[in-house]
C-alpha cells in the first residue's frame, strides 16, 4: 500500500512500509478533525447567529456525558499514536543480532564508509538486499545527518559519540544519501548513493569484480573529487589563489 504514492520516494527497505503506515495514519486523523471542526464552526455560526438585537441566548449548564465523550475519544486516539509510534521507534533503533556492520564517518563534506573486510568507500555505500545492515556512525567535525529517503532512516551523526542505525534493503537499485543537518558551505554537496545489490553481486563487488576501474583510475577519481571540494571551500572563504594578469 502507498508504494507508488505521488511525490513519495519508493519503499526500498523493510522498515519503509511501517513508517509510511504510521505517517499516513497521522495525516488522516489530522485531516479528519481539521475538516470536522471547520464544518462545525460554519454550521454553528449560521445556526446560532443572533437574529434580533434584543435576543439573548439561554444559559448553558453543560453536559457531563458530552465532556467525557470529547475527552476520552481524543485520549484514545492519542494513545494509539503513542503506542504505534513507540513500536516503530523501538524496532528501528534496535538492530537485530547478526546484522552486517559497516562503519561510517561524516566529515566536511563527505561520507566515508568501511566494511568489515576492509573495503572502503567515499560518498557511496554498497549493501546486499535481504540482510540487516547496521551502520556504526561518527563525525570528525560537526553534526551531520545520514538520510536515505527510500529506506525511511535518518540518524544524526554527532561529534564525540557513536550512533547507530540499521535497515534491510528490499529492492536492488541506487538510492540517494543526503546530509540533513546544515554543516557548512558545502552542505548541499554532501550527498552520496546507496547501491543495494543481490547477495551474489555484493560478494563479487567486495572482491573487486564489478567496479571495472583500475586502482589508478579510482585514485584519480577520488583525488579530483577532493581537490574540487577543497578548492571550492577555499574560494568561498576568500582564500583562493591569486590570478596573474
State whether residue 244 is helix, strand or coil. coil
* Between residues 5 and 211, the one the model is more confident about: 5
State pTM to two decimals.
Answer: 0.72
CA angle 167, 109, 119 (to 5 degrees): 55
Phi and psi torsions of 140, nearest 5°: -90, -10
**135 secondary structure, DSSP code:** E
Peptide bond into 198 cis (omega under 30): no
State the pLDDT at residue 2.
55
> pLDDT tens across 121-143, in order?
999 999 999 999 999 999 998 99
What is the torsional sign of CA 119, 220, 147, 128? negative
State the pLDDT at residue 145.
94
Q: Give the CA radius of gyration of the chain.
A: 27
Amino acid at each position: 500500500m502507498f508504494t507508488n504514492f505521488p511525490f513519495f520516494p519508493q519503499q526500498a527497505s523493510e522498515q519503509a512500509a511501517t513508517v509510511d503506515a504510521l505517517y499516513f495514519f497521522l495525516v488522516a486523523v489530522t485531516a479528519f478533525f481539521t475538516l470536522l471542526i471547520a464544518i462545525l464552526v460554519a454550521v454553528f455560526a449560521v445556526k446560532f447567529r443572533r437574529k434580533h438585537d434584543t435576543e439573548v441566548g439561554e444559559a448553558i449548564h453543560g453536559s457531563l456525558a458530552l465532556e467525557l465523550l470529547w475527552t476520552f475519544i481524543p485520549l484514545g486516539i492519542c494513545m494509539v499514536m503513542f503506542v504505534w509510534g513507540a513500536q516503530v521507534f523501538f524496532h528501528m533503533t534496535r538492530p537485530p543480532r547478526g546484522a552486517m556492520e559497516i562503519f561510517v564517518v561524516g566529515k566536511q563534506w563527505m561520507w566515508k564508509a568501511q566494511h568489515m573486510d576492509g573495503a572502503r568507500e567515499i560518498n557511496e555505500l554498497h549493501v546486499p538486499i535481504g540482510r540487516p545492515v547496521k551502520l556504526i556512525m561518527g563525525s570528525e567535525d560537526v553534526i551531520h545527518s545520514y538520510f536515505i529517503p527510500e529506506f525511511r532512516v535518518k540518524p544524526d551523526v554527532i561529534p564525540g559519540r557513536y550512533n547507530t542505525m540499521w535497515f534491510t534493503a528490499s529492492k536492488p537499485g541506487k538510492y540517494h544519501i543526503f546530509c540533513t543537518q546544515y554543516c557548512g558551505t558545502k552542505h548541499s554537496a554532501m550527498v552520496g548513493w546507496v547501491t543495494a545489490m543481490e547477495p551474489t553481486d555484493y560478494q563479487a563487488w567486495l572482491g573487486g569484480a564489478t567496479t571495472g576501474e583500475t586502482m589508478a583510475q579510482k585514485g584519480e577519481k577520488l583525488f579530483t573529487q577532493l581537490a574540487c571540494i577543497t578548492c571550492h571551500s577555499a574560494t568561498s572563504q576568500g582564500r583562493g589563489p591569486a590570478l596573474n594578469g
